[in-house]
Amino acid sequence: MYHVCMTITDPVQTDHEARFDALIDGGHKIEPRDWMPEAYRKTMIRQIAQHAHSEVIGQQPEGNWITRAPTLQRKAILIAKVQDEAGHGLYLYSAAETLGVSRDEMNDLLHRGVQKYSSIFNYPTLSWADMGAIGWLVDGAAITNQVMLTRTSYGPYARAMIRICKEESFHQRQGYEIMLELANGTEEQRDMAQDALDRFWWPSLAMFGPPDADSTHTEQSMAWGIKLETNDELRQKFVDMTVPQARYLGLSVPDPDLVWNDERGHFDFGDIDWDEFWRVVRGDGPCNRERVAHKRKAWDDGAWVREAAAAHAAKRTSDLAGKGTST
Ligand code: BYC
């Protein structure tokens, strides 16, 4: 007896896939109404949620210095910056919601440690100079990645990135300006700036994610146009851009292996401590527990605000409906 082997293909599914592939290959955006492979949807939810959580948790290290900013002007600028980060989180949660996940679900996954946020926000902010280092290095690294993401294949994410990048570039400059002032200040201020650079340099390089060879998602994400440059390419771009800025400040980058390579046209730099990176990502960094506990508490403390807002919205809707039926 012979068995006939044949693959059964669903013509509708094949059509959907062909259209999706054509949109990606043509450099067009995928929109919420479009069919997309389940794995694409899951990857987008994972990345956008992680990005949104980073913006929200990222308020904590800087929020720590609002009450201690050295002048009223610095305090006003820092408040505005931290508020911008909250706004970025909101655009990003909205972008993720277009993929069929709710904000409550994402919050729950963050609180239970299922979804991640950027490793960088698990480091403490020990001095005022850290506000300079975060703006200059952390926002600088974020922009390097996010400028690429303005061209990412998922429409709502790409569009959110355009506004976010404009604000981040202002954040980066305000951080650099703090560093410039400290670097040109008293010896103690210079030391503070150098110490902040020493502590934030390596964690900023790690923000770009593991080396390409160890990156789980890069290959597929490049094929889908989610990523247009790899983790290592972006990291190199950041180093090439930032080292001259550190030299202009008269500060030294804490890397004895840092050297300009004429042949490559790039800086060579030393090895990143990937064991430390993975420890932090897995929840064992200097501030992981504190950050998540603070976030959970804020969520619980805010329950009455969400309830009141929902009750108000429901009342408005029923009032409007009442008016609608009486006219
Ligand atoms: N931290 O395969 P890979 C801001 C995980 S906030 C933690 O290369 P992918 C700001 C990765 O998730 C801006 N985890 O992943 C706010 C994966 O694990 P899972 C933050 C990391 O996704 C306030 C595994 O490692 N920016 O600017 O292809 C104040 C393997 O990695 C990290 C964004 O969120 C990390 N650093 O590439 C100031 C950008 N890196 O999920 C400033 C959006 C990797 O399989 N995200 N992992 O368990 C991305 O562009 C990409 O997700 C990444 C990683 C480049 C970060």
Report DSSP letters for 1-23, one per residue.
--PPP-----HHHHHHHHHHHHH
Report the atom number in ligand 1 closest to the C-alpha of 142.
Answer: 27
CA angle 57, 61, 63 (to 5 degrees): 90
Q: Reply yes or no on whether the pLDDT at 267 is more than 50.
A: yes
For ligand 1, atom 31, the nearest C-alpha belongs to 215
Q: What is the pLDDT of residues 138-172, one digit of tens each?
A: 999 999 999 999 999 999 999 999 999 999 999 99
Q: Which residues contact 249 (CB under 8 A, 6 or more apart)?
A: 179, 180, 183, 193
Which residues, 6+ apart, have CB-to-CB distance to 56 below 8 Å? 85, 86, 89, 117, 295
Q: How far is the CA of 172 from the centre of ligand 1 (A)?
A: 19
Say yes or no to pLDDT of 1 above 60: no
The dihedral built from the CA positions of residue 93, 99, 103 and 106, taken in this order, carries a sign that is negative
- Residue 325: pLDDT band (50, 70, 90) is low
Which pLDDT band holds residue 322 (cuts at 50, 70, 90)? confident
Ligand 1 centroid from CA 50, angstroms: 7
- C-alpha dist (Å) from residue 100 to 29, 33, 41, 210, 224: 18, 11, 9, 29, 19
Q: Give CA–CA dist 285/73, Å, rounded.
A: 32
Take residue 295 and report the two structure tokens written for it. Answer: 């976030």
| Interatomic CA distance for residues 52 and 107, integer angstroms | 10
Structure tokens at 156: 């709502």
Mean local confidence (pLDDT), 19-35: 96
In the chain, what's the furthest Cα-to-Cα distance?
91
User: 131 pLDDT exceeds 70?
Assistant: yes
Q: Identify the pLDDT of residue 13.
A: 73
Q: Which atom of ligand 1 is nearest to the CA of 50?
A: 34
Q: What percent of the chain has pLDDT over 90?
A: 93
Round to whole Å and give the CA distance between 272 and 241.
Answer: 18
Residue type, position 18, single letter: A
Q: How confident is the model at residue 203 (pLDDT cuts 50, 70, 90)?
A: very high
**Residue 8: per-residue pLDDT:** 59
Q: Using the mean position of ligand 1's atoms as its centre, give its distance from the Cα of residue 46 in Å.
A: 10
- At 184-198, the pLDDT tens digits run 999 999 999 999 999
Give Cα separations from 114 to 22, 47, 53, 157, 285 (angstroms).
Answer: 33, 13, 12, 21, 16
Q: Is 279 in the pocket of ligand 1 (CB under 6 A)?
A: no
Q: Whose CA is nearest to atom 3 of ligand 1?
A: 215
Q: What is the pLDDT of residues 213-261, one digit of tens each?
A: 999 999 999 999 999 999 999 999 999 999 999 999 999 999 999 999 9
| C-alpha 181 to ligand 1 mean position (Å) | 31
Q: What is the pLDDT of residue 9?
A: 64
Please tell me the predicted confidence (pLDDT) of residue 327.
44
Separation of alpha carbons 274 and 235, rounded Å: 14
pLDDT of residue 7: 54
pLDDT tens, residue by residue, 69-93: 999 999 999 999 999 999 999 999 9
Residue 5's pLDDT is what?
A: 46
Is residue 273 within 8 A of residue 202, CB to CB? The reply is yes
Low-confidence winner among 7-16, 25-34, 60-69 (lowest mean pLDDT):
7-16
Rounded CA-CA distance 102/96 in Å is 8
Q: For residue 260, list its beta bridge partners.
A: 267
H-run or E-run covering 57:
helix 38-57
Ligand 1, atom 50: closest residue by C-alpha: 145
Question: Over the chain, what is the mean pLDDT?
Answer: 95
